Structure 1
Amino acid sequence: MNQCTALVLLPPPEHVLTLSAPGDHRPDAGHILCELGENHDGEHSAMLWDEGGRPGSAVWVQWNTEHARLLPLPWCTVRDPRNADDACGLFVGHSSGHSWQVTDPTDQAITRELTRQHPHLFR
């Protein structure tokens, strides 16, 4: 399934702005792209950072048309049946498919073009 194409402009949290140095180096708002599969249920979701793989150490942003919130969510523990060393890259209880089932069509198009231009790099 293709990746959801929803995105949101997320301003930095107020506490981050308070802790940042004054001047021109203050954090800017950034666009966040949903990581779930298209036509998923519930809010859109994207991981912002991970504090080292511990349970609940990944901080996710979840949003809808009215609000966005930051949440520490545990990783989904389902293993990729093609490679048992790889777990899902989404959070526990996510809707839609697991991360290995979600494909970014833009990334696939770039990879196809690079493979065409540089076949020796893609075996």
Structure 2
Amino acid sequence: MNQCTAIALLPPPDHLVALSPAGHRPEAGHVLCELGSDHDRQHAAMLWDEGGRPGSAVWVRWKGSGLAKLTPLPWCPAHDTRNGACELFADHPSAHSWGITDPTDEAITQVLVRQHPHLFPEYRGED
């Protein structure tokens, strides 16, 4: 499943603006939804994790072009067959992270595989 392509523009937090030197206002930044394309209308992107404790990951959630909201969420407890943890929050509304493909990342990888096949032995024998 492809990753959702929704983006949100996050303005810098007020406290960061207040602490910034005159003439050096922090800029807004974009975040890309990390959920699978089949999720509900609420988008999500992880901003930071404070040590892997339950509820320590801070996510930004938004709908459409509405206001983005920061919220701490616990990690998804699911693991794949190689015991890799899902990189999304608990009760996320789409596939687990290992089932989501970033189409831009995959397109870049395919170009690099063609240009430098010796660097990508896992792609040998694929078109």
Identify whether the pair has TM-score above 0.5, normalized to the shorter chain.
yes
State how many pairs are aligned.
Answer: 120
CA RMSD of aligned residues (A): 1.2
Which region of structure 1 is more displaced relative to structure 2, 95-104 or 65-74? 65-74
1:16 maps to 2:37 = no
Query: Residue 42 of structure 1 contacts residue 95 of structure 1 at CA under 8 Å; is this kept in 2?
Result: no
Q: 2:85 aligns with which of 80, 83, 87?
A: 87
Q: CA deviation at 1:24?
A: 4.5
Structure 1 unaligned spans of 5+? none
Query: Residue 20 of structure 2 contacts residue 26 of structure 2 at CA under 8 Å; is this kept in 1?
Result: no
Q: Which residue of structure 1 lines up, in the alignment, with residue 107 of structure 2? A: 109
Give, in whole Å, the separation in 2 of the partners of 1:117 and 1:71.
42
Query: Residue 12 of structure 1 contacts residue 27 of structure 1 at CA under 8 Å; is this kept in 2?
Result: yes
Q: Which residue of structure 2 lines up, in the alignment, with residue 3 of structure 1? A: 3
Read off the aligned partner of 1:12 and give its amino acid letter: P
Give CA deviations for 1:59-110 in whole Å, capped at 9, x if unaligned.
00000132210001111010012x11x1100001100100000100110010
Calculate the TM-score normalised by the size of structure 2.
Answer: 0.88
Q: CA deviation at 1:28?
A: 1.2
Q: CA deviation at 1:25?
A: 4.2
Q: Which residue of structure 2 lines up, in the alignment, with residue 49 of structure 1? A: 48
Structure 2 unaligned spans of 5+? 122-127
Which region of structure 1 is more displaced relative to structure 2, 90-99 or 33-42? 33-42
Query: Residue 8 of structure 2 contacts residue 31 of structure 2 at CA under 8 Å; is this kept in 1?
Result: yes
Q: CA deviation at 1:17?
A: 2.1
